[in-house]
Amino acid sequence: MRKIAVFASGTGTNFDAIQASIEKGQLDASIELVVVDKLDAKVIEKAKAKQIDTFVFNPKEYASKNDYERVIVEECKRRGVEWIVLAGYMRILADALLEAYPNHIVNIHPSLLPAFKGKDAIGQAFNYGVKIMGVSIHYVNAEMDGGKIIAQRCFDVVDGMTHDEAEAKIHAIEHQLYPETLKKLLEEK
């Protein structure tokens, strides 16, 4: 069984999907820690309800990104975490985490990378008028949404589709693709 840490900043719907996959026996892993950078994020209560440890921090209380990342690395190492899974974590990682977990940090992004990197990728793609949208899972490096792509899944944007409908389709794909991809990754390495 692989030990993972999930990093999140919001409601935790991808956390839910990963945890559900573990509980169903589809993913041979355990979430040892949920790292959260927003004190009011809903994912905190979800993790506590599953009796999963959380590390909740305010980045402004640290002198630098590497300072709080060193604390996160200590928390992860103490629990034997092998993989870091970013699931709606809205921060670019610094050297402390990247060096501690080389090629063992993955992220999910709501676009077909390399297009529409960064914030509001769904809005960027929708406003651009793309005919195909989708989800990418990639390794994390120092470049925002720039690591090697591991998996992608797409869908056609049909005439009349609203932004909300596209977003719902993206989330449905995320919740299926992320656990499937993690299963393959954790079994391979």
CA 34 to CA 141: how far, in whole Å?
20
- Asked whether 126 and 153 are in contact (CB, 8 A), the reply is no
CA 7 to CA 85: how far, in whole Å?
6
| Residues 6+ away with beta carbon under 8 Å from 106 | 83, 84, 85, 86, 137, 138, 139, 140, 150, 181, 182, 185
> What is residue 177's DSSP assignment?
H
CA 42 to CA 37: how far, in whole Å?
11
Q: 116 vs 8, 121, 146, CA distance in Å?
A: 20, 5, 11
* Residues forming the active site: 109
